[in-house]
Structure 1
Amino acid sequence: MSTYRISQLAEISGVPATTLRFYETAGLLSAERTASGYRVYGDEAVERLGFISSAKHLGLPLEEIGDLLEVWEQGVCASVRQRMLPMVTDRIGDADNRIAELTAFSAYLAGVRADLSEPAPDGACGPDCGCLTAPATSTTPAPVPLTLERRPEPAPGLSWRDVPVACTLSGDEYGERAQQWQQVLDSATGREEIDDGLRVRFPSDPNLVAEVARLAAAEQGCCAFFDFTLHLSPDALALTVRAPETAHALLAELFGAKV
């Protein structure tokens, strides 16, 4: 049986050493200690990390991954599949709900665009010009601003600021994610520095809204210390992102925050 120091395991698995320590703290990974106090891992750790990475690609939170690992350790695939099936079903439901919300809002925006394409009335804006939100009726209710929140769930008595600062992405994955954020941030119409973070505003383009929501959800999955709030109204999308003080450097690197 082979043994690996934490740096060797990080190289083999593609998981940063900081994340390996975080997994150990979260109870997802265990290590033996040498007489000198160094962490050492066996071949089982490599297989375990592969399973964790696979589960994360399904959007499963670490708590559910921990439950799955308890079943996986028994070595019976049928039991793992049985436990995983309802988890994946729940993720499908979450995705379908987001799609339904965004589809409804996209249809509303299409109606507004059609109104704005008509000849403009003389004078100032009025209730029928298309620039103002139409009042609700029995057949066309006014859209409700869409607020999506992705918050970590720390232990009782702790806040999101107490979540360990550790990213579960490999170096290549982190670089790709940073590039995706930069592409989205290039479309921002404004930004505001706030305590522990920043607020960025975007146009309410359906495709852009969907991409920002996807990235925020993905980022929360790999970096639970980030606190995301997305507020969607008929004319704009506001993304608020905060991080604890120990993660301010990463906040600045990914989002350009001056904290």
Structure 2
Amino acid sequence: MRISEVSARSGVPASTLRYYEAEGLLPAARAENGYREYEPTALDRLAFIAQAKHLDLPLSSVRELVDAWESEPCHSVRARYRPMMSERAAQVDDRIAALAALRGTLTTAIRRLDALPDREEPCDAGCTFLDRPRAAPPALPVVPEAPVAPSPAPLACSLGSGDVEARLAEWHDALSGSERRDVPDGLRMTLPLTHLARITALAAAEQECCAFYAFRIDLHGPTFDLTITAPPDAREMLDRLVPTSEDPR
């Protein structure tokens, strides 16, 4: 089967099929004219990959499961699957707790916002304490000190080379099939809402090693927009983070 037929029968975009091939998940032979040719079993393999991705498993786990699915008995695949899903479920519980805390903060902020008086004057400092009670102003020091401007985040990743490649593979897998669009200082992608938890976790992890990235998520019903911005000097790193479309073969 040609890549167009596999894409039509599986519902998986051709760009994602090419990415799966590059990651060793979906091998393809090459015809004399250079076009990809797939075996009929590719559809079963894609169904298995889709199931693992629907459970929000990371790319490394999907690759391990696909290798086991192809060469090991069913009970062995099941034995590999169980701990992966348990670990992912624990991570989801952590996210739920964090989101519940955020929801409580938003509820408090909305209540305090509604309690602010209607005024024609500009906002004052009270408008900046929506998420917490306004604290009493600190006592002035005897000798005022000039504030120290925060240092800009270094334009370097703190991960080792092997970890960088693994992280890039995670991003490429999570963003596969989405179209990247240029925005001022960065890129924007539209993704299905089912990807939200994984994208949020990746963005949080990325902030720990590459603090110069800024992430923004805008919800739009069944989809959401992910916007990633970075300083001009980090544009090359941003382009590596977000995959681009490939040739049509």
SS of alignment partner, residue 228 of structure 2: strand
1:244 corresponds to 2:231:
no
C-alpha contact (below 8 Å) 1:154/1:162 kept by paired residues: no
The one-letter code matched in structure 2 to 1:244 is D
SS of alignment partner, residue 42 of structure 1: coil
C-alpha contact (below 8 Å) 1:15/1:168 kept by paired residues: no
Count of aligned pairs between the two proteins: 189
Aligned to 2:81: 84
Q: Percent identity?
A: 31
SS of alignment partner, residue 53 of structure 1: helix
TM value normalised by structure 1: 0.53
The one-letter code matched in structure 1 to 2:228 is V
The one-letter code matched in structure 1 to 2:86 is T
1:131/1:19 CA distance change after superposition, 3 Å:
closer
The CA RMSD over aligned residues, in Å, is 4.8
Cα offset, 1:80, TM superposition: 1.6
Aligned to 2:91: 94
SS of alignment partner, residue 82 of structure 1: helix
1:91/1:36 CA distance change after superposition, 3 Å:
same
Q: Distance in 1 between matches of 2:85 and 2:227?
A: 28
* 1:24-173 equivalence runs, <5 A: 24-118=21-115, 120=117, 131=130, 133-134=132-133, 156=162, 168-169=176-177
Cα offset, 1:113, TM superposition: 3.7
Cα offset, 1:94, TM superposition: 1.9
Aligned to 1:142: none
TM value normalised by structure 2: 0.55
Q: Distance in 1 between matches of 2:243 and 2:30?
A: 32
Out of 198, 201, 210, the residue aligned to residue 217 of structure 1 is: 198
Greater mean alpha carbon deviation, residues 101-110 or residues 60-69: 101-110
1:67/1:19 CA distance change after superposition, 3 Å:
same
Q: Distance in 2 between matches of 1:154 and 1:17?
A: 32
Cα offset, 1:230, TM superposition: 4.4
SS of alignment partner, residue 184 of structure 2: strand
1:32/1:112 CA distance change after superposition, 3 Å:
closer
User: Structure 1: which 5+ residue stretches go unaligned?
Assistant: 137-150, 179-191, 199-210, 222-226, 233-238, 251-259
SS of alignment partner, residue 64 of structure 1: helix
Q: Distance in 2 between matches of 1:17 and 1:229?
A: 30
Q: Distance in 2 between matches of 1:157 and 1:94?
A: 20
SS of alignment partner, residue 132 of structure 2: coil
C-alpha contact (below 8 Å) 1:5/1:41 kept by paired residues: yes
The one-letter code matched in structure 2 to 1:88 is M
Cα offset, 1:15, TM superposition: 1.9
User: Structure 2: which 5+ residue stretches go unaligned?
Assistant: 136-156, 203-209, 218-225, 230-237
Q: Distance in 1 between matches of 2:32 and 2:116?
A: 81
Cα offset, 1:135, TM superposition: 6.0
C-alpha contact (below 8 Å) 1:6/1:17 kept by paired residues: yes
Greater mean alpha carbon deviation, residues 93-102 or residues 45-54: 93-102
Q: Distance in 2 between matches of 1:129 and 1:16?
A: 45
C-alpha contact (below 8 Å) 1:165/1:247 kept by paired residues: yes
Q: Distance in 1 between matches of 2:165 and 2:194?
A: 23
Aligned to 1:6: 3
C-alpha contact (below 8 Å) 2:187/2:227 kept by paired residues: yes
